Chain A
C-alpha cells in the first residue's frame, strides 16, 4: 500500500527529471549550454516578482484545463476537446463582457457562467453521442475542436467585429484584471483568475471524492455494466461527466478572455492550452492537488522559456520538446515501474 503510493509519487517526479535530462541532451547536441539554458528558464519563471506574476498567470488556465481533462479521465472519458471547449468559453465570456453593461458583481459572474455554459454545451455533443450512439469521444472531440476554431473565427469576423480580426475590449465590469495584483508583481498581467482556478480545484476534489454524484460518476467511469446493474443511470452520468469537464474548460477560456487578453481575436491555430491540459492532468495524477503542482510546473516552463532565447540563445521550443517527453515518460509509466521494481530488488 505504502510502496504503491510512493511509486505513484515517484513516477511523475522521475518523468520530469528524465524529460529535463533529455532536454539537456538536445541542447548539448545542438551546441547550446544546458546550464545556461536552464538557468535562464529558472530566472524567467521565478527570477523576480514580475516573472512570478507571469508564471502564476500562465498557471491559471492550465489548472482549469488540467481539471477538465482529469475530471473526464476519472469518469472514464478522454476529453481531447478541452481546446475547443476553451475557445468557445473564451468567445462566450468576451461576448457577454462586450455586449452588456452591468454592475461588476453581476457582470463578472455572468461572463464566467456564460463561458462555463458554452464549454459545457460544446462537450455535451460528444457526451450525448457517446451515451446514445456509443461513438468514441476521442474522435468526436478532436473534430469538435476544429469546428470550434472555425466557427469562433467566423463569429469574431461577422458578429463581434465588422470583418475585423478581433473583438472590442470587454467592459471593466466583466474584467478579472486587478491593479493590486499587477502592482505587487511589477506590472505583470497577473489577474484574479488564479483564485477562481484554485476554487475550481477544490470543487472538483469535493465533487468527485465526497459526494454521492461523484461516487456514481467514478463508478460509471470504471465499470458501466456494474453501475447499470447497481441501478445507476449510465447514459446520464456519461453526459454529465462530459458537461462538467467542458464547464471547467470553458472557465479556462474565460481566464484568457476576461483576464489575460480582455478580448478575443481570430486564431490561425489552437491556443495549445487545452492540449497542454492533457499533460497537466497526466502529470498531476488526475488529482486536484497534483494538478495545481503540475500546472505550476508547466506555467513556469512556458513563461521561463521566453527568457531562454535572449539569455542563452536557446529557442523557446526546447520547452515543448521537454513537455512532450514528460508526457511520453508519464504515459510509459510501465517502463518506470519496471525500473523501480528492479532497483528495489537489487537493493534488497
Chain B
C-alpha cells in the first residue's frame, strides 16, 4: 500500500518538555486516519510539525515517498498538505472569497480579479458539495459555513492531504453529520485525511485506521474495524477507564433554585432564554444538556447577575435574586465555576493567593476598614492549596504559571470554601486530562452529598450522563425535556438537543 505521508520517529522538544517523543504516523492514500490522544498528548504539536509551523528536532517526514523538509506553511501548501484549524483562521471583516484567496490571489493588471476568484470558489464548492456564499462576510455566516470556508481554503490551494484539527468541537449534531458526509466525499475524490480528535465515537464512525499517542509517545496504529471504544480509551489514557463515576443514590431535599418564566435577550435584542423554567433541589446535581449556543451561557449569566434578564423570576431558597448585582447574588449563596477560567475565573497576573479571595477580599478577616490583611489572605490560600491539591511552587506564584487542571482546582477550592447553597459549574472539565476530570467530578458529587444544589452545564454528553442526577435538555432557550440519566440514551439526548423530539418539560420536577 502506498503511503502519502510518513512521519517517522518525529521528536519535538520545548525547553525541558518533550512534546513528541519519536512518534510515527503513516497515512495511506484515500483513507481517513484518526490521530487520537488526550489534551496535551502532543497531537497539535505533531500536526504543526507536518504543517511547517514547528521544526522537528529529530525524525523524518516523507511525502509520497520523498523525504522533505517543511520549513513553513508555504512548503506544506506546495506539497499539497492543507490544515483545517480548530480555531478558524478566518478574517471576520473579509468575504468568503477574500478569505479563500488570501495569499494566492488571482490578479489582472495588478488588481485582484475578484470576479474570477468568486467563480472559482463557486465551482469548488459545487464540486465537493460545500455550500457557501462566495460574497458573504465571514462575520455574517454560521459556524458550519465558516468551517466549509476553512476546507475550501485548503482545496483552493490544491491540497490532497487534509488535516482536520478537532473539527466537531464547535458543531451541532446535524453539522457533525454534514461534516462526516463531506469527509467521505473528499475521500471519494481521492483526498487523504488525518482527523485529530479525542472523541471515540467519531473514530468508530468515519475512520479507517487510528494512531494513538499518549504523553508525547506513540502507542500504536490500529485498524478501526479491529478495535472498540474501550480498548481505544485504555490506550489513550494508559489504564482502564471507568466510564461510570461512582456515586451514591441522590437524596434530594428542598428546592434551592427555582427559575420561572425567565426571559433573557442578548446584546442584539434576540431572545436567547425564552420563558425558561428549572428547579434544582438541595442534594442533587442537575445537568444541562444542549448544543452550544442554545442559551446556556445566558442562563448562567442571568442567575449570577452578570447580565440583566428581561422578565421572570429566579429564587434562591425562596428569596428573589433576579437582577441583583453579582456581589449580592454571591453573598446570597451562589458559587460559580465559570466556563472560561482564564477570562472569567482568575486574574492570571495576580498571585494564586490573591486569587483565592477574589470575591471576599473586602470582608473580615481578609481586610478591615479597607486595608488588606495579607497574613490572613495567604493563610487561607495555603489551606485551600493543600485541601484541593493545587500543585504550585508556592502561594505567591502567579496564577498564569499553573497548569489548567491546577487553575481549575484553585477555582473550585475558592468557590466551595465559601460554602454556597447553589454551586454552578459551567464546562468544569474542558481541556483537562483524565486525572483532573475525575478529581473535579468527585468534588462536585461531594458537594451534592453535603446537601448542596449543583447545576452543571456541559457540552460533553458523557459528563452529563455520568455526573447528573437529573438531566435538563435545553434547546433554543427553553428546557424541552427533563430526563433520568439512568433511563435515557445518548441517542435520545441527541435528538432532544437537536429539537427534533420533545418531551413534556417538568416530568420529574
Within 8 A of A (CB), among B115-137: none
Whether A212 and B350, one on each chain, are in contact in the complex, defined by CB atoms closer than 8 angstroms, is: no
Give the one of B304, B325, B338, B362 with max A CB within 10 A: B362
Say yes or no: is A229 at the interface (Cβ < 8 Å to chain B). Answer: yes
Chain A residues contacting B362 (CB-CB under 8 Å) are 212
Whether B370 and A219, one on each chain, are in contact in the complex, defined by CB atoms closer than 8 angstroms, is: no
Whether B343 and A223, one on each chain, are in contact in the complex, defined by CB atoms closer than 8 angstroms, is: yes
Can you list, as one digit per residue, whether each of A208-234 has a CB less than 8 Å from chain B (1) or not (0)? 001111111011001101111111100
Can you list, as one digit per residue, whether each of B332-358 has a CB less than 8 Å from chain A (1) or not (0)? 000010100001111111100010001
Say yes or no: is B371 at the interface (Cβ < 8 Å to chain A). Answer: yes
Say yes or no: is A1 at the interface (Cβ < 8 Å to chain B). Answer: yes
Q: Given known contacts A222-B348, A225-B344, A226-B344, is B359 in contact with A212 (CB within 8 Å)?
A: no
Whether B359 and A231, one on each chain, are in contact in the complex, defined by CB atoms closer than 8 angstroms, is: yes
Q: Given known contacts A211-B372, A212-B362, A212-B370, is B343 in contact with A231 (CB within 8 Å)?
A: no
Closest to A230 in B: B358
Whether A212 and B371, one on each chain, are in contact in the complex, defined by CB atoms closer than 8 angstroms, is: yes
Picked from A1, A211, A218, the residue with its CB within 8 Å of the CB of B371 is A211
- The count of chain B contact residues (Cβ–Cβ below 8 Å) is 27
Interface majority SS on A: helix, strand, loop or mixed?
helix
Chain A residues contacting B348 (CB-CB under 8 Å) are 222-223
Nearest CB on A from B366, distance (A): 8
Whether B347 and A219, one on each chain, are in contact in the complex, defined by CB atoms closer than 8 angstroms, is: yes
Whether B343 and A212, one on each chain, are in contact in the complex, defined by CB atoms closer than 8 angstroms, is: no
Nearest CB on B from A190, distance (A): 34
Chain B residues contacting A211 (CB-CB under 8 Å) are 367, 370-372
Docked Cα-Cα span, A317 to B455, in Å, equals 66
Chain B residues contacting A218 (CB-CB under 8 Å) are 350
Docked Cα-Cα span, A229 to B345, in Å, equals 7
Nearest CB on B from A4, distance (A): 10
Chain A residues contacting B371 (CB-CB under 8 Å) are 210-212
Closest to B330 in A: A231
Say yes or no: is B396 at the interface (Cβ < 8 Å to chain A). Answer: yes
Whether A229 and B306, one on each chain, are in contact in the complex, defined by CB atoms closer than 8 angstroms, is: yes
Whether B336 and A229, one on each chain, are in contact in the complex, defined by CB atoms closer than 8 angstroms, is: yes
Say yes or no: is B361 at the interface (Cβ < 8 Å to chain A). Answer: yes
Nearest CB on A from B209, distance (A): 43
Say yes or no: is B327 at the interface (Cβ < 8 Å to chain A). Answer: yes
Chain A residues contacting B252 (CB-CB under 8 Å) are none
Say yes or no: is B52 at the interface (Cβ < 8 Å to chain A). Answer: no
Chain B residues contacting A219 (CB-CB under 8 Å) are 347, 350, 358
Nearest CB on B from A230, distance (A): 4
Closest to B393 in A: A1
Picked from B325, B338, B346, B361, the residue with its CB within 8 Å of the CB of A215 is B361
Where the two chains meet, the residues of A that have a C-beta atom closer than 8 Å to any C-beta of B are 1, 210-216, 218-219, 222-223, 225-232
Q: Which 5 A-B pairs have the closest CB atoms?
A: A231-B327, A230-B358, A231-B326, A222-B349, A229-B344
Where the two chains meet, the residues of B that have a C-beta atom closer than 8 Å to any C-beta of A are 304, 306, 325-327, 330, 336, 338, 343-350, 354, 358-359, 361-362, 367, 370-372, 393, 396
